[in-house]
Structure 1
Amino acid sequence: MAYDEALAQRVHQLLKRRKGFSQRKMFGGMCFMLHGNMCCGITHQELMLRLGEKNTAKALEESFTREMDFTGKPIKSMIYVERPGFEDDADLKYWVNQAVKFVQSLPPKS
């Protein structure tokens, strides 16, 4: 299993009613999009979030977070959150909403 399908289903439930929602396989996992912009995703057992550089720096101060380094080089606008940081539904919703908030500030992709 390349990604946690149960976690992907939980994220899907949080996002499915949002305008412009779609999902597709990327990064060896599942990515969730809003208006064509990547918002968040699941890789292996971790939650991947697109927060923008400023929000990423702040989020990295939280427990169970780390820089996204998918290619071996840190991506300054994204983080991973480890399982203890999103096991609780309220925590998962918090993190997903942080990514949604950032992605809603971006122009839609055509």
Structure 2
Amino acid sequence: MAYDAELADRIRDVLQGEPDLTEKRMFGGLAFLVRGHLAVSASGRGGLLLRVDPALTDSLVAAPHVRRFEMRGREMDGWLHVDDEVVRTDEQLARWVGHGLDYVRTLPTG
């Protein structure tokens, strides 16, 4: 499945003006990197792939339609898959993208 180009455009709108922003195709989607770190991606599985503070993983996956991202059969703390159902409005999308931005801003330049 290809990533949702409309969702990618909406993510771009949320990230407009973010310093050191780059885009890169990865994990079957379109990733948005800040200072070299993946913050959010329009996932090739639909919805978002989101990088967050690993310490917040349990509280964030308590929300409906949010789960740990699975890679090679392993669920990973700090990486979430957020379904389309919870990013339908601009406010919802901005909230989730904000989680990714908050975390990658704490990381050293990559």
TM bucket by the smaller chain? over 0.9
Q: What's the RMSD between the two structures over aligned residues? A: 1.0
1:7-22 paired onto structure 2 within 5 Å: 7-22=7-22
In the TM superposition, residue 10 of structure 1 has moved relative to its aligned partner by 0.4
Distance 2:92 2:85 in 1: 9
In the TM superposition, residue 71 of structure 1 has moved relative to its aligned partner by 2.0
CA deviation map 1:21-55 (0-9, x unaligned): 01100001100000001101011311111002112
Q: Identity over aligned residues, as a percent?
A: 26
Code of the aligned partner of 1:91? Q
In the TM superposition, residue 70 of structure 1 has moved relative to its aligned partner by 2.8
Match of 2:49 in 1: 48
1:15-94 paired onto structure 2 within 5 Å: 15-44=15-44, 45-94=46-95
Code of the aligned partner of 1:59? L
In the TM superposition, residue 69 of structure 1 has moved relative to its aligned partner by 0.3
Distance 2:32 2:56 in 1: 19
**TM-score of the two chains, using structure 1 as the length reference:** 0.94
Unaligned runs of 5+ in 2: none
Distance 1:62 1:35 in 2: 28
Higher mean C-alpha deviation, range 43-52 or range 27-36: 43-52
In the TM superposition, residue 88 of structure 1 has moved relative to its aligned partner by 1.0
Runs of 4 or more above 3 Å deviation: none
Distance 2:27 2:87 in 1: 20
Distance 2:38 2:62 in 1: 23
Distance 1:83 1:99 in 2: 16
Code of the aligned partner of 1:105? T
- Aligned residues, how many? 109
